[in-house]
């Protein structure tokens, strides 16, 4: 009687434990993969091709006179050379016909989109290499794939708080909350 009861109890516990392990396995291995969707830039823009045209980084990414960052170039900038199709690359044809000639800005994906409650400025970070925080773009023939978190909407490469704080600590910069959260 006593023995039978015990075995029926463990018969109940075993499926539970197996189920728990399976759920944890899904959490550890499957979830991080399922969490991100892969997105491609709308236009296959090549940093390499444009560097070969003799363009410098700050022809397209520059600080404004007021210290704010202009970020990505717009159609006005790109249209200096692409008001009509100039080459035979299909990516350029698409760019000119679907964006420039329709006066539509390209909805580029930003790899480092910070939450609105975080204050970040490039003007304080001009002594750091772009690649401390960004993917290396210089030799790219096509932009990296952006992995976007389906729940938060942020890209995988968005800097985490500890990444900002670690570099600040290494450089003797204050990590008081108000420095980054206004």
Kindly tell me which residue out of 118, 149, 153, 169 binds ligand HEC, with binding defined by CB under 6 A.
Answer: 118
Binding mask 5-44 for ligand HEC (x = CB under 6 A): ------------------------------------x-xx
Q: Does 163 bind ligand HEC (CB under 6 A)?
A: yes
Q: Please, what is the minimum distance in Å from the beta carbon of residue 149 to ligand HEC?
A: 11
- By beta-carbon proximity to ligand HEC, the closer residue of 25 and 136 is 136
Burial class (CB in 10 A: 0-12, 13-18, 19+), 60: middle
Q: Does 105 bind ligand HEC (CB under 6 A)?
A: no
- By beta-carbon proximity to ligand HEC, the closer residue of 17 and 124 is 124
Could you give the CA distance from residue 85 to residue 72 in angstroms, rounded to a whole number?
Answer: 21
Indicate if the alpha-carbon torsion angle 85, 90, 91, 93 is positive or negative: positive
Could you give the CA distance from residue 130 to residue 120 in angstroms, rounded to a whole number?
Answer: 14
Compute the C-alpha angle 60/61/65, nearest 5°: 110
Q: Does 138 bind ligand HEC (CB under 6 A)?
A: yes
Kindly tell me which residue out of 36, 63, 82, 145 binds ligand HEC, with binding defined by CB under 6 A.
Answer: 82
Could you give the CA distance from residue 34 to residue 31 in angstroms, rounded to a whole number?
Answer: 5
Q: Does 49 bind ligand HEC (CB under 6 A)?
A: yes
Question: Beta-carbon neighbour count of residue 129 at 10 Å?
Answer: 9
Q: Please, what is the minimum distance in Å from the beta carbon of residue 34 to ligand HEC?
A: 20
Q: Which of 130, 149, 147 is nearest to 139 (CA)?
A: 130
Question: Beta-carbon neighbour count of residue 130 at 10 Å?
Answer: 14
Residues forming contacts to ligand HEC in the complex (CB under 6 A) are: 41, 43-47, 49-51, 53, 55, 57, 59-61, 69, 71-73, 77-78, 80-82, 86-89, 91-92, 95, 108, 110-115, 118-122, 124-125, 128, 130, 132-134, 137-138, 143, 159-161, 163-165, 167-168, 171, 173, 175, 177, 179-181
């Amino acid at each position: 009687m006593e023995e039978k009861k015990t075995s029926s109890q463990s018969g109940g516990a075993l499926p539970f434990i197996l189920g728990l392990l399976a759920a944890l396995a899904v959490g550890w291995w499957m979830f991080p993969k399922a969490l991100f969707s892969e997105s491609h830039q709308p236009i296959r823009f090549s940093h390499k091709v444009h560097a070969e045209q003799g363009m410098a980084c700050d022809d397209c990414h520059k600080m404004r006179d007021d210290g704010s960052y202009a970020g990505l170039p717009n159609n006005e900038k790109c249209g200096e050379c692409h008001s009509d199709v100039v080459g035979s690359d299909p990516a350029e044809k698409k760019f000119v016909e679907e964006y420039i000639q329709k006066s539509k800005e390209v909805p580029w994906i930003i790899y480092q989109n910070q939450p609105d409650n975080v204050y970040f400025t490039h003007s304080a970070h001009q002594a750091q290499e772009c690649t401390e925080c960004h993917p290396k773009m210089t030799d790219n023939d096509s932009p990296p794939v952006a992995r976007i978190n389906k729940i938060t909407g942020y890209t995988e490469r968005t800097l985490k708080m500890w990444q900002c704080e670690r570099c600040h600590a290494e450089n003797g910069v204050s990590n008081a909350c108000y420095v980054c959260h206004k």
